[in-house]
Amino acid sequence: MALYTWSGYTESGKKDGGMIDAATLREAKLKLRQQGRFVSEIAEEAAAGAPVRTGTIHVKDLFGRVGHEDVAVMTRQLSTLVGASIPLVEALTALYEQTENPTLKKALAQVKDAVNEGASFADALGKHKKIFPDLYVNMVRSGEASGALDVVLLRLAEFQESQRRLRAKVGSAMIYPALLLIFAVGVVFYLLTAVVPKVVGMFESMHQVLPLPTRILIAVSGFLGHTWWIILIALGVAGYLITRWKATDRGSLRFDRMRMAFPLYGKVYLKLCVARFARTLGTLLSSGVPIIESMRIVKTVVQNRVMENALDDAIGDVIEGSGVAATLKKSGIFPPIIVHMIDVGERSGTLEEMLMKAADAYEEDVETAVASLTSVLEPVMILIMGASVGFIIMAILFPMLEMSQVIR
Rounded to an integer, the average pLDDT of 320-336 is: 88
Residue 28 and residue 76 in one domain = no
Express each pLDDT in 220-236 by its tens digit.
888 887 888 888 899 99
Distance of CA 74 to the CA centre of its chain: 18
User: Would residue 18 count as lying in a domain?
Assistant: yes
Quote the number of domains for the chain: 3
pLDDT of the residue at 341: 92
- Of the candidates 3, 332, 286, which has an alpha carbon nearest to the alpha carbon of residue 139? 286
Whether 54 shows a pLDDT value over 60: the answer reads no
| 250 and 319 both lie in a single domain | yes
Say if residue 55's pLDDT is above 70. Answer: no
Q: Are residues 103 and 44 in the same domain?
A: no
Question: pLDDT band at 340, cuts 50/70/90?
Answer: very high
Q: Do 2 and 76 lie in a common domain?
A: no
CA distance 331 to 326: 9
Length in residues, the chain: 408
Is position 220 within any domain? Answer: yes
Sheet containing strand 2-10, strands side by side: 15-22, 2-10, 37-44
For the chain, what is the mean pLDDT?
Answer: 82
What's the Cα-to-Cα distance from 251 to each of 245, 246, 259, 320, rounded to whole Å?
5, 5, 12, 31
Do 304 and 181 share a structural domain? Answer: yes
| pLDDT for the residue numbered 375 | 82
For 10-14, 133-137, 182-186, which range has the lowest pLDDT when averaged over its residues?
Answer: 10-14
Question: What per-residue confidence (pLDDT) applies to 399?
Answer: 77
CATH number, domain of 101, equals 1.20.81.30
* pLDDT tens figures, 163-218: 888 888 888 878 888 888 888 888 888 888 888 887 776 766 666 677 888 888 88
Considering the domain architecture, whether residues 248 and 363 belong to the same structural domain is answered as yes
240 and 117 belong to one structural domain? no
pLDDT digits (tens, 9 = 90+) for 288-299: 888 898 898 888
Query: In percent, how much of the chain has pLDDT > 90?
Result: 10
35 pLDDT tier (thresholds 50, 70, 90): confident
The SS3 call for residue 303 is coil
pLDDT more than 70, % of the chain = 90
229/369 same-domain check? yes
Q: What type of residue is 377?
A: L
Q: What are the tens digits of pLDDT across the range 160-172?
A: 888 888 888 888 8
Domain of residue 349, residue span: 162-408
Residues 186 and 261 in one domain: yes
Q: In which band, very low, low, confident or very high, does the pLDDT at 322 lie, cut at 50, 70 and 90?
A: confident
Domain-embedded: residue 21 = yes
Q: Please check whether residues 353 and 382 belong to one and the same domain.
A: yes
Label residue 302 exposed, middle or buried (CB < 10 Å: 0-12, 13-18, 19+). buried
> Could you give the CA distance from residue 140 to residue 71 in angstroms, rounded to a whole number?
14
Q: Are residues 219 and 330 in the same domain?
A: yes
Which whole-number Å values give the CA distances from 146 to 62, 140, 353, in the listed order? 38, 10, 20
Q: Are 10 and 37 in contact (CB under 8 A)?
A: yes
Lowest mean pLDDT among 25-39, 73-87, 135-149: 25-39
**So what's the pLDDT on residue 32?**
76
Report yes or no: 399 and 203 within 8 Å, Cβ to Cβ.
Answer: yes
Quick one: pLDDT band at residue 11, thresholds 50, 70, 90? low
- At 62 the pLDDT is 43
Q: Are 366 and 345 in contact (CB under 8 A)?
A: no
What mean pLDDT is predicted for residues 127-137? 87
Calculated CA dihedral for residues 200, 201, 204, 206, nearest 10 degrees: -110
For residue 5, the cross-strand partners are 19, 43
- pLDDT for res 406: 56
Distance of CA 251 to the CA centre of its chain: 20
Query: Where on the phi/psi map is residue 258: left (φ > 0), alpha (ψ -120 to 50), or beta?
Result: alpha
φ/ψ of residue 9, rounded to 5: -140, 155
Name the burial class of residue 279, with classes exposed (0-12), middle (13-18) and buried (19+) by CB atoms within 10 angstroms of its CB. Answer: buried
Cα dist from 153 to 72, 78, 282, 343, whole Å: 9, 7, 15, 28
Both 299 and 362 in one domain: the answer is yes
* Averaged pLDDT, 359-375: 86
